[in-house]
Amino acid sequence: MPAYKVVPGADQFYALNEPAIGTAYPESVYPQNAQLPTLFQPLTIKGTTFKNRIFVSPMCQYSSNNGYATDWHLVHIGGYATRGAGAICMEATSIVPEGRISPEDAGLWEDGQIEPLRRIVNFSHAQGTLIGVQLSHAGRKASTQAPWVHSGLGHGHSWVASKEDNGWPDNVWGPSELKFSETYPQPKEMDEAHIQYVEDSWIEAVDRCKKIGFDFIEIHGAHGYLLHEFVSPLSNVRTDKYGGQPLENRLRFPLRLASRVRAAWDKPLFVRVSATDWAQGPEKGEDDLWKQWGIEQTKIYVEELKKIGVDLIDTSTGGNWVDQQIPVGPGYQVPFAHELKKAYPDLLVGAVGMITEPDQAESILKDGKADVVFLARELIRDPHWPMVAATKLGVAIKPANQYERGWS
């Protein structure tokens, strides 16, 4: 028998990490861990225990083949699974082909897309890391170019992915026939039948998530994509029960969808929201009419999501108004997470947005502004950030067996 342990039940050889990568060692082994920073304290959600509070944010890679994950995703996600993150949320994954942001975006609208994702999930699990997926529909911002494709094609300011670019500009849908901007596709207004089609497709994708083995699902309701478009009066000017000025109408479809997902999914369920459109002027005018989406409507929305049984609100902002004015700076979106946490202290809240320093992340959690931090760009720059953060905060956490020499 070999002296080392292997991951039981894995489909190939993986050395077993004990404890799991990114887990704080017990105080009996490392006395400095007697009082752990909040960032490295475990968190249990619906019976699932996350080993720390550092979550990898969904990051579009624009690297899928007709919605199918590739080895780029295996390496990209696998790198985070081996470097100490508490959880990984895979990128915006469309529940229908026309709901992708770009032709190269991820999808989960057919069974063939299960196996490439299962391979990634199995690898993550073999490293002791939890992994979920962000289910999405881009709405009126669909059929657009990947950023580096747009910048390299030299066809002016247009973001539209044409049919020649494998796009579908004539099959873009939203709550209303309002373009995001003149450089984006013209959407069609979704009728009752199309709303039902999208809702049913979402539930079919949830069923595929079960087969894949994801540990949690995040519903993408932010950044100007379909669900955000429905809730904001800037993008939803319908006159039926799904839109217009009444907030109840604009929330109807997103809440109905969340309720169905909750009923179909018994593991942790997150929702990412944009807490403001960052448009000029007030959220509500002196005429008592809603002018744009903002924190007050978000609080009402979140209260309803809480009643449905959503476990965590991943709090972002913006993306729905082309002329948005965002005061970007360190932690610039954290105040919105804090507002939701103050309003609903017993609801788990995630914070995002230029969180780059370990002390900064720890203070957000320690001060009760959020329960977890989601990082993206900083993890692109330094995938070992969880290990670096532990070192700076004086915590001893488990590195991967293969990387232990780098952290001795």
Here the contacts of 393-396 (C-beta below 8 Å, separation 24 or greater) are 393/37, 393/39, 393/40, 393/358, 393/359, 393/362, 394/32, 395/24, 395/32, 395/33, 395/36, 395/37, 395/40, 396/24, 396/25, 396/29, 396/30, 396/32, 396/33
Q: Answer whether 103's CB lies under 8 Å from 71's CB.
A: no
- Compute the Cα dihedral for 392, 398, 403, 408 and give only its sign: positive
Neighbouring C-beta atoms of residue 344, cutoff 10 Å: 16
Compute φ and ψ for 366, nearest 5 degrees.
-65, -35
Tell me which of 62, 225, 242, 301 is the catalytic residue: 225
To the query of whether residue 301 is one of the catalytic residues in this protein, the response is no
Neighbouring C-beta atoms of residue 340, cutoff 10 Å: 26
Q: Give the up-direction half-sphere exposure of residue 34: CA atoms within 13 A in the CB hemisphere.
A: 2
Going by C-alpha positions, the residue among 167, 177, 169, 97 that lies closest to residue 137 is 97
Residue holding tokens 């999808």? 107
- Amino acid at site 280: Q
Alpha helices (H) in 237-333, listed in sequence order: 247-264, 295-308
State the Cα–Cα distance between residues 70 and 76, nearest whole angstrom.
Answer: 10
> Strands 130-136, 87-94: parallel, antiparallel or unpaired by DSSP?
parallel
Residues that are catalytic: 225
